[in-house]
Amino acid sequence: MIDCLFCITPYTDKTLPLLGPSVLSNVLKKNNFTSKVLDYNIELSKVYTDIFEGESWDDISIKFIKHEELYSNFEFIILMDKWVQEIIDYKPKYVAFTLFTTYMAYVVDYITKKIKEKTDIKIIVGGSSIKRFIEVLDIKLNSSVDLYDHIIIGYGEQTIINILNGNVIDKIINVETPDFTLTETPDFTDLNLNDYEHSFALPGYTTKGCTNNCPFCVIPLLYNYVELPMDRVIKDCSEYIDKYNIKFIEFQDSIINARFSRLDDLCTNLIPLNIQWSALWRIRKNIKEQTYKLLNQSGCNTLSIGVESGSEKVRNDMNKYYSNQDIFDNLDNFKKYNITAHLMLLVGFPSETEQDFQDTLNLLTEIKEKDYIINSIEFHHLVITTEEMKIYKDNENFLDGPRRYDVMKQHLIDIDFIVPDNQKIIELATERLFTSLRKEID
């Protein structure tokens, strides 16, 4: 008998364990409940080549959006049924699923249906893609929110305790601000860390939410910006070093430089730990030299930046008010202080014209010529929810995204940048877009 089982389901990334379940599991343990984290995504990663006949991990992602092939893959169904039985055998009072991305929706819903057929175990769902999950339940999975006992939008710490204490009757609960006195150092002891591709690293976080409000981004809709107390951050990092022998932390904050005095303080506190770390970074103007020095001294290794577009007009429309010169200034300093950059781009924003798109290609060429330390460039096609679609649907430029995406990919190959094959993202994005449009029309 166990109070709560946290299940991570395919399909998601296999570089690192997800943070959310390990945080919430420890919150429960510290409140005298029994809990455990199971990672079925990583279980699949060990056997998927047999089940999906030699396809790569990236290739199989699309099956978790277009489900037809999963329905008829008996080996995969047998595997999911094995997971269902294993979950039931633990005799949990609650099973908690994290919807980190919508790729996970199919397996979560399959397992939930099976559990509900056989038992009265309660099911709780939460995570960053939870709003989208609610949308796809009826339109893609022939399912319903009725199947789920509690759906948590936003922060989970307080609510999961309240649910397990039997103090919650509402089905859908919205929590925009967390009670950080409750949050705990993530507990990864249930997982075999050697199973993950980045077994040299662990994920951490120092803030949650974001101080900005970009119109395409789900973060400001779900989480108010909050900072973990610095002693908690340092306690987490020290525990990673002492307990797991980890010396590289991948911070998962939406932006590590939301407040510079806080970032300087973080770096100062990290220096004695002698670790290396990576994080997400937002381009800013007039950054003090001292900040870059501290980044370097504290072991900052890689920063990922949402550059999104080469057009300043489009970036302004995205609430990203910085010039191309600001991008160059930040990258100059990264190079000076030996920090690698990972760039993220977004094509198909509603106000993007052909000229704006051309500006993005020109910016990439210019970045290449300046010889910065760029380890990779990742590009996305805009993905939005039905709610957001209302703002965009009248814009004729919108559907140009996939075509631009192909042009950009070719351009990146031509200028010899490392380009991940993101064809799947186009298909996914297009699929989501048309599903949204259909719903609008209905």
Can residue 409 be called a binding residue for ligand B12 (CB under 6 A)?
Answer: no
Burial (CB < 10 A; 0-12, 13-18, 19+), residue 142, is: exposed
Coil/strand/helix, residue 189: coil
Q: Total number of residues binding ligand SF4 (CB under 6 A)?
A: 11
Contacted by 384, from ligand SF4, ligand SAM, ligand B12, none: CB < 5 to 8 Å by type: ligand SAM
| Span near ligand SF4 by CB under 6 A; candidates 23-31, 105-113, 205-213, 410-418 | 205-213
Q: Given the complex with ligand SF4, which of 150 and 208 has the nearer CB atom?
A: 208
Residues of 1-11 as b/e, b for ≥16 C-beta within 10 angstroms? eebbbbbbbbb
Q: Is the dihedral of CA 351, 354, 356, 357 positive or negative?
A: positive
Residues 249-278 that bind ligand SAM (CB under 6 A): 254-255
Torsion of CA 9, 13, 14, 19, to 10 degrees: -70
Can residue 344 be called a binding residue for ligand SAM (CB under 6 A)?
Answer: yes
Coil/strand/helix, residue 382: coil
Residues 107-146 that bind ligand B12 (CB under 6 A): 124-129, 132
Binding mask 181-220 for ligand SAM (x = CB under 6 A): -----------------------------------xx---
Strand partners, 198: none
Beta 122-126 vs 150-154: how paired, if at all?
Answer: parallel
With beta carbons less than 8 A apart as the criterion, state whether 37 and 190 touch: yes
> Would you state the structure tokens that stand for residue 409, as one six-digit string?
């990919």
Q: Given the complex with ligand B12, which of 35 and 128 has the nearer CB atom?
A: 128
Binding mask 421-440 for ligand B12 (x = CB under 6 A): ----x---------------
Count other C-beta atoms under 10 Å from residue 389's C-beta. Answer: 17
Distance CA 268, CA 294 (A): 7
Can residue 350 be called a binding residue for ligand B12 (CB under 6 A)?
Answer: no
| Span near ligand SAM by CB under 6 A; candidates 89-97, 269-277, 300-308, 309-317 | 300-308
Which of 76, 106, 110, 205 binds ligand B12 (CB under 6 A)? It is 205
With beta carbons less than 8 A apart as the criterion, state whether 88 and 111 touch: no
Q: Is the dihedral of CA 223, 225, 229, 234 positive or negative?
A: positive
Binding mask 272-311 for ligand SF4 (x = CB under 6 A): ----------x-----------------------x-----
With beta carbons less than 8 A apart as the criterion, state whether 90 and 3 touch: no
Can residue 92 be called a binding residue for ligand SAM (CB under 6 A)?
Answer: no
What is the closest distance, in whole angstroms, from the C-beta atom of residue 361 to ligand B12 in the complex? 20
Count other C-beta atoms under 10 Å from residue 193's C-beta. Answer: 17
Cα 100 versus chain centre, distance: 6
- What is the contact surface with ligand SAM in residues (CB under 6 A)? 216-217, 254-255, 280, 282, 305-306, 308, 344, 346, 380, 382-384
- What is the contact surface with ligand SF4 in residues (CB under 6 A)? 210, 212-214, 217, 219-220, 254-255, 282, 306
- What is the contact surface with ligand B12 in residues (CB under 6 A)? 11-13, 15-16, 18-20, 23-24, 61, 96, 98, 100-103, 124-129, 132, 152, 155-157, 159-160, 178, 203, 205, 217-219, 252, 254, 380, 425
